[in-house]
């Protein structure tokens, strides 16, 4: 509907005299072989690389034999199993999964708590911001159950140069055609200049008001008798108020629960059961990645320090990137930093992570990143002074919703908190955002918005 055609994605090709190495299309693809780095946490100084550890059955890895055996048996069971362990979301089996933690589920599959917390934090559960000790076991299957991600090699794992901004740009271009200069092609929409004057013109069906922060939303009367919703926002140091026939609260739970001033107690109680955790994405521009290539890998994973993995990946060529790539090409290494503190309550983990994220200076994070990369790659020729061209930090204080046991289907005979907010609008106000689905994905963001708008059209506007 918005004109995104995955057939038009064209990626860099290999062009180097050195033998070709597999590269993914995103920093999370992690094509084999992957290198595992074991540092001082494992008694290794200098650190030790194990290349393709699963294929080598962790031979030479400085971890106890019982850990190796547990991991290998767990991997074998995972690969042997096909499909979902339940018939449909909400059946008895899926509800049981939602009643226990992911860590408990992994222990049922033969892993010890020590193995999980040493080797699988935050990789297991990382897509939900925290580790297995506090997440619902259903998170292991939530994306697959929704068919939210397409991982097939032919169509899956596509990435815009600007991340999900590419999707947002296509939506804006569809709603307001002259908001972005040029034709409606991938290259033009993702790289075209924004016509800011076109975003908020009187008389057009869609208007986008920039630099406007909504601080209060409430019905003019009791919700069931109200004909309008009053929206208060600030812009340019002034406060404005308008009347709307309806409103969708598409922001996250940590803001919506405060902005809607006449929110009923049932909805406030529901929102109190949502937890969010922080994430930092560090983009490290390097002048080449031969230090990885010398190790025989393009993807790396580690278990201590800052971040936990990175991967060299191809990028679309229609955004001005060089058409080819090789080990001497400049690239960007992305480190996703989650803040997991196994053993602490879920809310405490989120709060502690936000404090760490927001109180740590850029200089301190830069130092940690340089030290991390030096520790891992200096043996293969990496020099931070020579090889790092720049570092950009993206800090998200409430990046992930953390679905705890009971989040998806409820517990103790009570409905899931998310369903209280999704079931119907509160008067003329409906609620959206991926945190109501529990699966942070652009498709679920669109689906939640579609549901919220549909509810208002069916029950309020009509």
Q: Note the pLDDT of residue 320.
A: 82
Instruction: Give me the residue label for tokens 């991600």.
Output: 149
Indicate which CATH number applies to the domain containing 225: 3.50.50.60
In a domain, 191, yes or no: no
Range(s) of the domain holding residue 268: 211-274+404-461
Average per-residue pLDDT in the chain? 94
Helix H or strand E segment including 302: strand 299-302
In a domain, 227, yes or no: yes
pTM of the model: 0.93
In a domain, 325, yes or no: no
Q: How confident is the model at residue 149 (pLDDT cuts 50, 70, 90)?
A: low
In a domain, 182, yes or no: no
C-alpha atoms less than 13 angstroms from C-alpha of 213 in its C-beta half-sphere? 6
pLDDT at 28 over 60: yes
Beta strand 213-219 with 13-14 is unpaired
- Tell me how far apart the alpha carbons of residues 164 and 441 are, in angstroms, rounded to a whole number: 10
Percent above pLDDT 90 for the chain: 84
In a domain, 260, yes or no: yes
Q: Note the pLDDT of residue 48.
A: 97
pLDDT at 152 over 60: no
pLDDT at 428 over 90: yes
In a domain, 445, yes or no: yes
Number of domains in the chain: 1
Helix H or strand E segment including 203: none
Q: Would you say 32 and 21 are in contact if contact means Cβ atoms under 8 Å apart?
A: no
Q: What is the mean pLDDT of residues 441-445?
A: 87
Q: Note the pLDDT of residue 148.
A: 54
Percent above pLDDT 70 for the chain: 97
In a domain, 29, yes or no: no
In a domain, 254, yes or no: yes
- Tell me how far apart the alpha carbons of residues 367 and 306 are, in angstroms, rounded to a whole number: 10
Q: What is the mean pLDDT of residues 67-87?
A: 93
pLDDT at 170 over 60: yes
Q: How confident is the model at residue 146 (pLDDT cuts 50, 70, 90)?
A: confident
């Amino acid at each position: 509907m918005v004109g995104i055609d995955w057939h038009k994605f064209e990626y860099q090709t290999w062009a180097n005299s050195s033998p070709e190495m597999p590269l993914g299309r995103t920093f999370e693809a992690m094509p084999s072989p992957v290198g595992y780095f074991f540092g001082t946490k494992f008694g290794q100084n200098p650190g030790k690389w194990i290349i393709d550890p699963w294929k080598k059955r962790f031979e030479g890895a400085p971890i106890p034999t019982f850990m190796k055996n547990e991991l290998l048996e767990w991997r074998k069971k995972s690969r042997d199993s096909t499909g979902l362990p339940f018939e449909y979301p909400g059946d008895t089996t899926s509800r049981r999964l939602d009643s226990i933690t992911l860590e408990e589920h992994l222990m049922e599959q033969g892993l010890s708590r020590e193995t999980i917390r040493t080797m699988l934090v935050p990789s297991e559960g990382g897509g939900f911001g925290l580790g297995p000790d506090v997440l619902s076991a259903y998170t292991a299957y939530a994306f697959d159950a929704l068919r939210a991600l397409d991982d097939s090699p032919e169509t899956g794992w596509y990435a815009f140069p600007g991340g999900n901004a590419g999707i947002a740009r296509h939506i804006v271009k569809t709603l307001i055609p002259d908001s972005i200069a040029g034709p409606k092609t991938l290259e033009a929409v993702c790289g075209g200049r924004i016509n800011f004057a076109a975003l908020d013109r009187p008389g057009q069906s869609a208007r986008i008001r920039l630099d406007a922060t909504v601080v209060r939303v409430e019905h003019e009367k009791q919700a069931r008798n109200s004909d309008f919703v009053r929206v208060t926002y600030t812009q340019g140091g002034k406060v404005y108020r308008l009347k709307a026939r309806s409103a969708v609260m598409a922001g996250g739970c940590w803001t919506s629960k405060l902005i809607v001033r006449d929110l009923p107690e049932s909805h406030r109680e529901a929102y109190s059961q949502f937890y969010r955790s922080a994430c930092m994405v560090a983009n490290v521009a390097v002048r080449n990645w031969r230090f990885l290539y010398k190790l025989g890998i393009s993807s790396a994973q580690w278990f201590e320090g800052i971040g936990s993995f990175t991967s060299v990946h191809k990028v679309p060529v229609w955004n001005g990137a060089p058409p080819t790539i090789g080990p001497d090409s400049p690239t960007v290494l992305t480190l996703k930093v989650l803040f997991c503190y196994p053993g602490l309550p879920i809310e405490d983990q989120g709060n502690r992570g936000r404090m760490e994220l927001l109180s740590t200076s850029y200089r301190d994070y830069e130092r940690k990143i340089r030290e991390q990369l030096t520790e891992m790659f200096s043996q293969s020729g990496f020099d931070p002074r020579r090889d790092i061209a720049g570092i950009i930090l993206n800090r998200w204080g409430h990046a992930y919703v953390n679905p705890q046991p009971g989040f998806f289907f409820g517990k103790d005979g009570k409905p899931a908190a998310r369903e209280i907010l999704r079931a119907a609008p509160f008067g003329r106000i409906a609620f959206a955002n991926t945190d109501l689905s529990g699966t942070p994905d652009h498709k679920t963001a669109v689906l939640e918005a579609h549901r919220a708008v549909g509810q208002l059209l069916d029950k309020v506007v009509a």
